Amino acid sequence: MKLTSTLALLLFSIAVLGGCERDRMSERGFSLPEGDPVAGRDTFVYMQCHQCHFIEGEQFPALPGVDPPYVELGGKVTRVKSYGELVTAIINPSHKLADGYPPDRVSEAGESLMYVYNRYMTIQELIDLVMFLQPHYEVVVPHYDYRMYP
């Protein structure tokens, strides 16, 4: 009996401590200030994001000697691109690869081909970039064909 209750206590502690560990890594309470979309566009050009990205309706200065960009940012999506998702896509590109591309086109051994800017990009630049990018996403309702049966 004693052993059983000691064991139960031990298991209980592990569960609780495990829970705390998860809590410690939780994004609860995370919030960044609003950025400036105009400054974000300047940052996009300055950091040469258009080496690899194009955005419908936006023209960026030509980059001689660089292959045409191949990953679209913005455009039609079926679900809103949240602030958190865009921040994550920039500072942790391999966390979740962009939808709609064959993995070997945008990644190598599971790692995104996007540069990691974390050592060079300021937080202000990050939030400005996100403010610039977010309005370019247009949420569309997926279209399904229904067939009516008599």
- Binding residues for ligand HEC, per CB under 6 A? 47, 49, 51-53, 71, 73, 86, 89-90, 93, 97-98, 106, 112-115, 117, 129, 133
Q: How far from the centroid of its chain's Cα atoms is residue 148's Cα?
A: 39
Between 14 and 79, name the residue whose CB sits nearer to ligand HEC: 79
Smallest gap, in angstroms, from Cβ of residue 73 to ligand HEC?
6
Reported as half-sphere exposure (CB side, CA atoms, 13 A), residue 59 has a value of: 0
Only one residue has tokens 């955005």, namely: 55
Q: How far from the centroid of its chain's Cα atoms is residue 63's Cα?
A: 25
Between 19 and 76, name the residue whose CB sits nearer to ligand HEC: 76
Smallest gap, in angstroms, from Cβ of residue 12 to ligand HEC?
41
| Under 8 Å between Cβ of 71 and 106 | yes
Structure tokens at 140: 């569309």
Host H or E run for residue 92: none
Between 51 and 124, name the residue whose CB sits nearer to ligand HEC: 51
Between 39 and 113, name the residue whose CB sits nearer to ligand HEC: 113
